[in-house]
Structure 1
């Protein structure tokens, strides 16, 4: 599926598939499936589809419903929460890195240029390191 949302292109054909979850089968009107993707820019999105009694239902008339599909952009935090709930621990760690159970790490929010984000995403893809690991490495190497 390909969709433009807020001037940004989301395409399941070109984005990296990260994992999926589903409920029931296509004969069940309440069935649904969701797939987590990451664009080369590092942005996450969810592609979902389902039957006429699922959260993806679409109205086709008065009291008439059919199945539907949708793409939903996700923040990093929303993607992490979705993955935590719907993926295995190994799948989660492959996407977001290992979990540190102590308080030696803190979340930080900052803004950098799109070019820098794209470069960071490419570096992470090429090295197999998380973006956080790369940024921390860069900061420590500036001493």
Structure 2
């Protein structure tokens, strides 16, 4: 290795650089779905907040998801996760790592932000649903 080359860094929780790259590629890949006649597209929607549960990519419970709002005001979660998450892909009775989109009501989007501690996003997008103490 020459002096100008960087040593590859392995993120904590990702003992395998290849799996870390796979995780980053899935996170950055746009997701598009038509659900009940409505089009959901992560490239054209407004990203409100994102979370990861901190588990390694190869963990069955690994999850990475983002809350979006379409230009028409519909909320949805887009993400990816291991075989024991809502994002699991099933083929032939075997579950594996997958990705997907889940439409949310305004109340569910608000609750998702509240559960995950996104106070600023709640104040910005759901101020009509909060009151001063």
Q: Same fold (TM over 0.5)?
A: yes
Residue of structure 2 in register with 1:12 after alignment: 42
Residue of structure 2 in register with 1:44 after alignment: 75
TM-score computed with the length of structure 1 as normaliser:
0.64
Return the alpha-carbon distance in structure 2 between the equivalents of residues 60 and 87 of structure 1: 35
SS for the counterpart of 2:125 is: helix
Residue of structure 1 in register with 2:105 after alignment: 75
Q: Gaps (5+ residues) in structure 2? A: 1-30
> CA shift at 1:10, angstroms?
0.3
RMSD: 1.7
Q: Structure 1 residue 26 and structure 2 residue 57: aligned?
A: yes
Q: Structure 1 residue 55 and structure 2 residue 114: aligned?
A: no
Q: Structure 1 residue 86 and structure 2 residue 94: aligned?
A: no
Q: Gaps (5+ residues) in structure 1? A: 103-143
Is the Cα contact below 8 Å between 1:49 and 1:67 reproduced in 2? yes
Return the alpha-carbon distance in structure 1 between the equivalents of residues 58 and 98 of structure 2: 14
SS for the counterpart of 2:114 is: helix
* Deviation digits for residues 59-80 of structure 1 (CA, Å, limit 9, x no counterpart): 2224x22111111111111111
TM-score computed with the length of structure 2 as normaliser:
0.68
> CA shift at 1:43, angstroms?
1.0
